[in-house]
Amino acid sequence: MRISAKIMAEHIKANLAKQSTQLMETQLKLASGKRINRPSDDPIGMGKVLDYRTTLHTVEQYRENILESRTRVQFTEAVLGQVSEFIEDAKKLATNPDIEDKTAFAQEIGNIRQQVLGLANSKYGPNYLFSGHRSDTASFDLAPPYGYNGDNGSHRVVVGEGITVPIEADGSQMFIDGTDNLFQVLDDLETALLATPYDPAAVKSTVDPLYRIADRVKLARSGLATDYKRLDRTDEYWKNFGNAVETMRQTVEDADITKTAIDMQVQQTAYEVLLATAAQVVQPTLVDFLR
């Protein structure tokens, strides 16, 4: 049976279209670096890729939460570190038996009180650091009796599905021990130093409260160190988990660049050969047909 020129031309045209489409798809893979560029390329694979991307986005959000919280913990610890230093200075003055210039010492205690008050009312971003959930309210009053205006809430950071890490933000747990308010104790110490006649017993009565509050601040700093380690370990877990998920995504979605480049070269050569063959076969046949 003789194959007509028209049938041969249609057959070559179809092969050229198929070869051209395959070549363009390979070029797209090479340009994008991805094996799957549209759902039709691999519907099942695309479903997996979308799941991987959702997981990676969630992991990224957890890590951002952890980073922000670690920064907050570091800032809080730095503030409490300064408070501890000021309390130590006050303890030295209160336990000094040879007070020669009580007025100068009293002035120093007043300065310490103002500095500690400023630190206790520190802000982290737009929010007060030690006001619990009432972070839009200054933590402590600036005048006697230096009342606490926050609550016992903590800053909670989401580090996993249904998992949160509480970070202490209750200033009353740090600067008050029972009825001993750090700022009021410093106020009492300043008053005792300025009293006439001088009353050593009144000065000494502030020592034990200062020690107790110093222990509270130390305990808070220890808790922050524990929080930081937990956040650090959790971040390391999510980092490793994210890397594993990214590897799986790449395996499904990304193209093997070396193999794809070779495939494109082979397809390019096949396409050029097909064009050359078409030029040799179709044209003479059509001429013969016209004759």
Pairing of strands 123-124, 127-128: antiparallel
Roughly how many angstroms between the first and final C-alpha of the chain, as a whole number? 20
Q: Sorting pLDDT into bands at 50, 70 and 90, what band is 148?
A: very high
**For residues 245 and 287, which has the higher predicted lDDT (pLDDT)?**
245
SS3 98: coil
150, 143 contact by CB (below 8 A): no
Domain ranges of the chain: 52-249
121, 141 contact by CB (below 8 A): no
Distance of alpha carbon 27 from alpha carbon 282, whole angstroms: 28
pLDDT digits (tens, 9 = 90+) for 91-123: 998 887 566 778 888 999 999 999 999 999 999
**For residues 197 and 82, which has the higher predicted lDDT (pLDDT)?**
82
Percentage of the chain surpassing pLDDT 90? 55
pLDDT of residue 251: 82
pLDDT of residue 291: 47
Nearest-5° Cα angle at 282, 278 to 284: 125
pLDDT digits (tens, 9 = 90+) for 166-222: 999 999 999 998 889 999 999 999 999 988 888 888 999 999 999 999 999 999 999
pLDDT digits (tens, 9 = 90+) for 262-274: 666 766 676 666 6
- Of the ranges 60-74, 216-230, 243-257, which one carries the lowest mean pLDDT score? 243-257
Domain 52-249, CATH: 1.20.1330.10
Q: Which helix (H) or strand (E) holds 127?
A: strand 127-128
Mean pLDDT of the chain: 84
